[in-house]
Amino acid sequence: MQQFWHVFIAYAVAWGLVFGWAVAIFRRMGRVEARLREAGLDTDPDAKGAAGRTLP
């Protein structure tokens, strides 16, 4: 098992990168949704935005 320690470290680093990438995507999506809400558009087709408009 001693000769494979680098494989386990690489696996952990890879999962960390994937997790960080997913977090970055969700944060970016949140910022986009906030900007759309500020512009009076809503991303939820059932809800009306501040100006009563929805995205097509």
Strand boundaries in the chain, DSSP class E: none
Asked whether residue 20 carries a pLDDT value surpassing 70, the answer given is yes
The position carrying tokens 């680093």 is 13
**Ramachandran area for residue 45 (φ above 0: left; ψ -120 to 50: alpha; else beta):** alpha
Q: What's the predicted TM-score (pTM) here?
A: 0.60
User: Could you state, in order of their start, the residue ranges of all structural domains in the chain?
Assistant: 10-56
Give residue 38's pLDDT band: very low, low, confident or very high (50, 70, 90): confident
Count, residues in the chain: 56
